Amino acid sequence: MQLTRVDQQKQEAETEILRKIAYQVGVDAETVTAQQAYQGVAWTVRERLIDAFNKTQAYWREKDPKFIYYLSAEFLMGRTLTNAVNNLGLEGEFGEAIRKLGYSLEELQSQEQNASLGNGGLGRLAACFLDSIATLSLPGWGYGIRYRYGMFRQGLENGFQSESPDTWLTNGNPWEIPRRDLAYKIGFYGSVQDGKWQPAEQVYAVAYDNPIPGYGTKTVGNLRLFDCQPMSEFKLASFNEGKYSEATEDKRKAEDISAVLYPNDATEYGRELRLKQQIFFVSAAMQDTLARFKKTHKDMKELPSKACFQMNDTHPTIGVAELMRLLIDQEGLQWEAAWDITTKTLAFTNHTVMPEALEKWPVAVIGKLLPRHMEIIEKIDSIWIESLRKKVTAQVGSQSPKNALEKVAGAVKGALEEKTADPVEAALAKYSIITENPWEKGVKLVNMAFMATIGSKSTNGVAAIHSEIIKETIFKDFYELSPEKFQNKTNGVTPRRWLAYCNPGLSKLITETLGSNEWIAKTDQLAGLRKFSDDKAFQKKWRSIKLENKQRLADLIKSRVGISVPTNALYDVQIKRIHEYKRQHLNMFSVVNRYLNIKAASPEERKKMVPRVVVIGGKAASAYVMAKKMIKLVTAVGEVVNKDPDVGDLLKVVFLPDYNVSLAEVIVPGAEVSQHISTAGTEASGTSNMKFQMNGCLIIGTMDGANIEIAQESGKENMFVFGVDAKDIGRLREERKNFKVEDPRWNKIMQFLTSSTFEAGLFQDLVDNVNDMSKANDWFLLGNDFSDYLRAQDEIDALYKDQDAWTKRSILYTAGSGFFSSDRCIDQYAKEIWDVKPCEVPSS
Which residues contribute to the site for ligand F55 (CB under 6 A)?
119-122, 125, 264-266, 269, 351-352, 357, 462, 491, 683-687, 705
- Find the catalytic residue in 576, 594, 619, 652: 576
Task: Kindly state the smallest distance separating residue 164's Cβ from ligand F55, in Å.
Answer: 20
C-beta separation of 199 from 190 below 8 A: yes
Smaller CB separation from ligand F55, 218 or 676? 676
Smaller CB separation from ligand F55, 538 or 829? 829
- Find the catalytic residue in 315, 351, 372, 389: 351
274 in active site: no
Task: Kindly state the smallest distance separating residue 150's Cβ from ligand F55, in Å.
Answer: 13
- Per DSSP, the residues of 486-501 read EEE----B-HIIIIII
User: Which residue's beta carbon is nearest to the bound ligand F55?
Assistant: 121
Task: Kindly state the smallest distance separating residue 41's Cβ from ligand F55, in Å.
Answer: 32
Smaller CB separation from ligand F55, 447 or 491? 491
Task: Kindly state the smallest distance separating residue 208's Cβ from ligand F55, in Å.
Answer: 22
Bridge partners for 203 per DSSP: 186, 230
Smaller CB separation from ligand F55, 145 or 591? 145
SS3 sequence, 608-628? HCCCEEEEEECCCCCCCHHHH
- Per DSSP, the residues of 419-450 read T-SSHHHHHHHTT-SEEE-TTSTT-EEEEHHH
- Find the catalytic residue in 582, 583, 594, 632: 582
C-beta separation of 116 from 43 below 8 A: no
576 in active site: yes
C-beta separation of 706 from 694 below 8 A: no
Query: Nearest to residue 220, comparing CAs of 128, 134, 127, 126?
Result: 134
- Per DSSP, the residues of 388-400 read HHHHHHHHHHSSS
Bridge partners for 177 per DSSP: 209
351 in active site: yes
- Find the catalytic residue in 577, 594, 619, 629: 577
Smaller CB separation from ligand F55, 264 or 642? 264
Bridge partners for 99 per DSSP: none
Task: Kindly state the smallest distance separating residue 577's Cβ from ligand F55, in Å.
Answer: 7
Smaller CB separation from ligand F55, 326 or 451? 451
Smaller CB separation from ligand F55, 268 or 794? 268
C-beta separation of 673 from 796 below 8 A: yes
What is the distance between the terminal CA atoms of the chain, rounded to a whole angstrom?
29
Bridge partners for 461 per DSSP: 488
In the 8-state DSSP scheme, what is residue 183?
Answer: E
Helix (H), strand (E) at residue 36: helix 34-63
Smaller CB separation from ligand F55, 497 or 541? 497
How many Å apart are CA 592 and CA 749, to the nearest integer?
6
HSE, CB side, 13 Å, CA atoms: give it for residue 285.
36
How many Å apart are CA 126 and CA 123, to the nearest integer?
5
How many Å apart are CA 326 and CA 757, to the nearest integer?
63
Instruction: Let me know the angle formed at the C-alpha of 72 by 67 and 74, rounded to the nearest 5 degrees.
Output: 140
State which amino acid sits at residue 110. Answer: S
- Find the catalytic residue in 80, 490, 635, 687: 687
Task: Kindly state the smallest distance separating residue 129's Cβ from ligand F55, in Å.
Answer: 10
Q: Which residues neighbour 652 within 8 Å (Cβ) at sequence distance 6 or greater?
A: 563, 565, 566, 569, 612, 613, 614, 638, 641, 642
Query: Nearest to residue 826, comparing CAs of 838, 840, 839, 816?
Result: 838
Task: Kindly state the smallest distance separating residue 262's Cβ from ligand F55, in Å.
Answer: 7
Smaller CB separation from ligand F55, 122 or 254? 122
301 in active site: no
Smaller CB separation from ligand F55, 112 or 313? 313
Task: Kindly state the smallest distance separating residue 275's Cβ from ligand F55, in Å.
Answer: 11
Smaller CB separation from ligand F55, 303 or 448? 448
**What phi and psi values does residue 547 have, to the nearest 5 degrees?**
-65, -40
Task: Kindly state the smallest distance separating residue 429's Cβ from ligand F55, in Å.
Answer: 25
Handedness of CA 740, 746, 750, 756 (dihedral sign): positive
The neighbour count for residue 796, using CB atoms within 10 Å, is 18
Task: Kindly state the smallest distance separating residue 700's Cβ from ligand F55, in Å.
Answer: 17
C-beta separation of 228 from 147 below 8 A: no
Task: Kindly state the smallest distance separating residue 512's Cβ from ligand F55, in Å.
Answer: 32
How many Å apart are CA 574 and CA 630, to the nearest integer?
13
- Find the catalytic residue in 457, 471, 691, 808: 691
315 in active site: no
Helical spans, DSSP H, in 621-740:
625-642, 661-670, 688-694, 707-714, 729-734
How many Å apart are CA 831 and CA 479, to the nearest integer?
21
How many Å apart are CA 193 and CA 328, to the nearest integer?
15
Task: Kindly state the smallest distance separating residue 121's Cβ from ligand F55, in Å.
Answer: 3
Query: Nearest to residue 840, comparing CAs of 206, 346, 136?
Result: 136
687 in active site: yes
Smaller CB separation from ligand F55, 121 or 187? 121
Catalytic residues, by residue number, are 351, 576-577, 582, 687, 691
